[in-house]
Amino acid sequence: MKIERLTLHGFKSFADRVELHFDRGISGVIGPNGSGKSNVVEAIRFVMGSRARALRAREAEALIFHGGDGRKPMPFAEVELVLRDGRERYVVSRRIDRSGDQDVRLNGKRATFRQIERVLAGTGLGKNAHALVGQGEVAGILESSPDALLERLEDAAGLRVVTLALRETRQRLERAARHLETLREQHAGRLAEKARLTAEAEEARRAEALARERLAVQRGLFRARRRALEEEIGRLKRRLEELEEARVEAEKERLAAQGRGESLERERSAVGEAFARVQARHAALESERGFLERERLQLRSTLERLAAERSRLDEEAARLAQLKPPEPPTPPGPEAERERLLAEDEELAREVRRAEEAVRAAEQAYAQQQRAFREYREVLARYEAARDAHALARKERERWERVLAEAERDLKEARTARDEAAAQDAELRAALAELQERAGRLRAELEAARREADRLEKLVAGGSDLAEGPRRLARWRPAGMLGVVADLLEVPPGLEAAAEAALGARIQWVLMEDERSLREAVARLKREGGRATLLARDLARPRTGDLGPWLGREGVVGAARELFAIRGERKLTDALFGDTLVVEDLDVALALAREKRRVRMVTLAGEVVEPLGSVSGGRAGRGGGARLELRGRLRRIKGERDEAEAELRRSEARIAEIEAARAALELGRLDERLRRLHAERDAAARALERLPEPAAPPEPPEPVAEPDAGPLEAARRRLEVLGVRRAELEERLEAWKEHDRAVVNHRLAQERYEERQERLAALRGRAEGLDRERGRLEERLGEVEVRLGELAREQEALGLEDLRGRVNALEAEAREAKARQQAWLERLAAVAGETEEARLLLARREATLEEVLREGSELPPGEHVEGSVRKLQLRLREIERELEGLGPVNHRAAQALEQLQAELGEVERALAEAEEAAQRLTLETEELREAYDRQLQEAFVRFRERFAYYGRALLGGLADVKLDEEGLHLVVQPQGKRTRDLRLLSTGEKTMGALGFLFALAEVGEGSLPIAVLDEVDAPLDESNILRFVGFLRDFARQRQFILVTHQKRTMEACDVLWGVTNRGGASLVYSLRREEAGS
């Protein structure tokens, strides 16, 4: 293969159309710097598909001539490369414009760079362009990555086609593996879906049973609740009657207790007054008795003293009779003491009188205190009764205020709940309106789709596009008939023309189940008229050749038997489509038709290329794919109709959900509850209004202390103390009196000393006087004793203790009567509260009964479950929990499960086919890999030998190469140097080593790298190396084509043809030169 011609127009610096012709041998491109020589090499890269950045441009627009002196910018850039390989001639062109559009053609037909790469495989001019060495790139060849070096060896050894085939096979294997994985995932998904649908179907059955049972339980619960509410209402009414009777009885008892309390209070007041009078009399008697007791003691003391004095007088008389004249008596004290005692006695007498007056005043004050205390007790009793009545009224008002506050709070909560429910209901109504509007649109769309589907079905059923025989069979539908191919065929959108072209007349074939049904159909056609081609399933002979070499290639859409399908009929699909291949356009089909192995192909536009090479094309009478397009449209319309129906069902389900949600809000129940709470609040307010506002609590009476007997007792004790002191003083005065008597007696004794008889008589007289005094005192003592007896009897007759006991008993009985009255008041209050609560409860239960009756009226008629409310509620909650546990159920799960079973069978068949295809591709990949490894090893051995040779010839040193999984690793060691690090070599050494690498590649195999385009690779070389380089060029030029861009004279001399490039006004110009002109 060689390059014949290169044409540039608008590419970079080449504004005008320029053609460069090349022949075998060495062609040189020369010219000054900046003239555009390297653009010639880049034009070859451009036409091979290199991107703008690889061509020293930031973007594709920069590759278009941008103008110069007096020259306008070009709107496009176009490069055409003509190559020849023996008799084969290839024209590759690429055109880009400033809008970014590009046009790539191969032999005048649109092509892809991959197609071009396949055609140019082994030439080094493919996508990677290993045969093209740009300016400054030669020295970098040795530093290329191992895999890049390996690609150059593959290209030189002709393994590029194998590599591409291996790559495509691997890609196909990867796609097959992905497809297989997808199918496995689908299979696993279908199995999981099957398990899920099985469980969902069971859940749906369970949910339906639970729903039926729930409805029966709800009916039974309604009956039980109604019965329970009616019974409770009856009990409450009876309880209200009982409470009314209890209230009347309690009111009677309270009035009786109040009367008894008032009677006891009056009796207690009368007895209290009598007790006070008796107590005062008893105190007076007690005082007198104490006085008499003291007087009796004093009299006894005086009698004892008189008795002692009589005895003393007797003794004294006896003694005086015997005594000598007595001595004068000694006074008991000084005379002043006697005067003091007399004065003190007078003062004590006055104090006694005052004490007696104080006792009488204390007795009067004590009696007055008792009267005041009795009056205070009566006022206090009246205050306590008023206080208790006020507290009871206040308590009752506070209870109704609490009831009113609770009613207000419940009313507020109910109003809030009602407002929230109303807001939710408004939102639900808006959503419902939107859904209903959407459902209306869906119904309209569904109706339109149904009408269109009916119209298309009539068209298809009428068979106007079918021949008479197929149309009659389609109308008859004989036993065993599967259908007409056109009706059974499933075609992806956009492929109708290809499918119809692939089938041809077979599109009107009639498919039958077996030979028997086929014979019956043919016999009927004979009888009734008509002719048709029929194919029985058991007579079909599929043609399934290996289309693997074509699949995955550029422009190939796929195998017709894989793209199209007769529903559920794999065998018939293979028989109808056979080995037909679907490609993008006629250019691709014709390119594939040039290959030795041919296959029947159809294009997307409906052209048919037969294996013999014949082409069917042009404009069809009814338009390519019209029949299938009509049926495809019918299927799409049906699909849209089904989707619309599903969407409508979803919308209706959502509408039902929203209506259920609105019903669940129970606005009616909330309104009824709000009205009931309003009534309860109003009832509490009215009851509170009926209760008068309690006046200020009664003021307690000024406390009065209990009668204090202390002052009276103190006065009495004072009187007693004064009596004792006076008695003592009298005793002391009696001593003085005795002294006076002694003095008198002494004087008398002295006077009568002589007259003892007179003295004794005087003593006897004194004794008689004492006896008389004693008799008087004893008489007084008797009177005192008698008076004390009378006082004791009078005190006993007063009955003070009995009166005290009676007073205490009356007070206890009054307290008990008051307690009974209070108890009956509390009982009345409790009865009133219980009555009001019973009335409220009765109103609630009646409202609940109305609500239950309303709910029951909404239940559909049917069977019900008997049982108590609690038992039925428990069962209903269990059902609700079980339904909630089930969650949303799929009621179409059973139907979906049946469909899934069929899909699962299809997936399993597809999975088996995919596994078989993956095994075939794996074997094909292994075979290609073995062939590649074998050929690569052979090429590597040859390349290693030649690389070592050129290393010695060009560098005079060592050149070696190693092959591993990463690629090629080069070892270059110039003569006289020990380093093997390629980065440490000079630029000239790197260039010579790279040239040795390229020359070795050229000798890998026959026809290896037939073309080499080198851009100033000799620039870093000295004179001796240039001569060496030129010598090798001449040797290689006998079998290969070299295109060199150079500035070196020695290189120019080695060229067979020279093209000069110059720049004028910013545009490059090309002209042919003779070597003599170049040298000069």
* Sign, Cα dihedral of 1040, 1046, 1050, 1052: positive
At residue 248, φ and ψ (nearest 5 deg) are -60, -45
Long-range CB contacts for residues 209-215, cutoff 8 Å, separation at least 24: 210/879, 210/882, 210/883, 210/886, 211/883, 213/865, 213/879, 214/876, 214/879, 214/880, 214/883, 215/859, 215/860, 215/862
Question: Which residues fall in the annotated binding site for ATP?
Answer: 32-39
Q: Of 378, 380, 373, which is closest to residue 264 (Cα–Cα)?
A: 378
Q: Which residue is listed with tokens 């005379």?
A: 335
CA 333 to chain centre: 121
Here the tokens at position 521 are: 């159909």
Here the tokens at position 159 are: 């393994």
DSSP string, 200-228: HHHHHHHHHHHHHHHHHHHHHHHHHHHHH
300, 774 Cβ separation under 8 angstroms: no
Q: Which residue is listed with tokens 């509390």?
A: 826
Q: Of 16, 22, 19, which is closest to residue 3 (Cα–Cα)?
A: 22
| Residue 465 to residue 473: CA distance in whole angstroms | 14
897, 197 Cβ separation under 8 angstroms: yes
| Residue 92 to residue 81: CA distance in whole angstroms | 5
| Residue 540 to residue 499: CA distance in whole angstroms | 19
Question: Which residues fall in the annotated binding site?
Answer: 32-39
The answer for residues whose C-beta is within 8 angstroms of residue 131's C-beta and 6 or more apart is: 123, 124, 125, 155, 1009, 1011, 1012, 1013
Work out the angle between the directed axes of helices 496-503 and 626-665 (0-180°, nearest 10). 140
164, 982 Cβ separation under 8 angstroms: no
DSSP code of residue 966: S
- DSSP H helix total and E strand total for the chain: 23, 24
CB-based burial label for 984 (10 Å; 0-12, 13-18, 19+): exposed
CB-based burial label for 77 (10 Å; 0-12, 13-18, 19+): buried
1024, 1001 Cβ separation under 8 angstroms: no
Question: If residue 490 lies in a helix (H) or strand (E), which one and from where to where?
Answer: strand 489-490
Long-range CB contacts for residues 358-364, cutoff 8 Å, separation at least 24: 358/715, 358/718, 358/719, 359/287, 359/712, 359/715, 359/716, 359/719, 361/715, 362/711, 362/712, 362/714, 362/715, 362/716, 363/280, 363/283, 363/284, 363/287, 363/712
Here the tokens at position 405 are: 């506050």
| Residue 915 to residue 309: CA distance in whole angstroms | 162
255, 794 Cβ separation under 8 angstroms: no
Count of residues in the chain = 1080
CA distances from 596 to 119, 591, 603, 925 (A): 15, 11, 20, 22
Q: Of 593, 587, 628, which is closest to residue 501 (Cα–Cα)?
A: 628
| Residue 54 to residue 42: CA distance in whole angstroms | 9
732, 341 Cβ separation under 8 angstroms: yes
Q: Which amino acid is at 877?
A: R
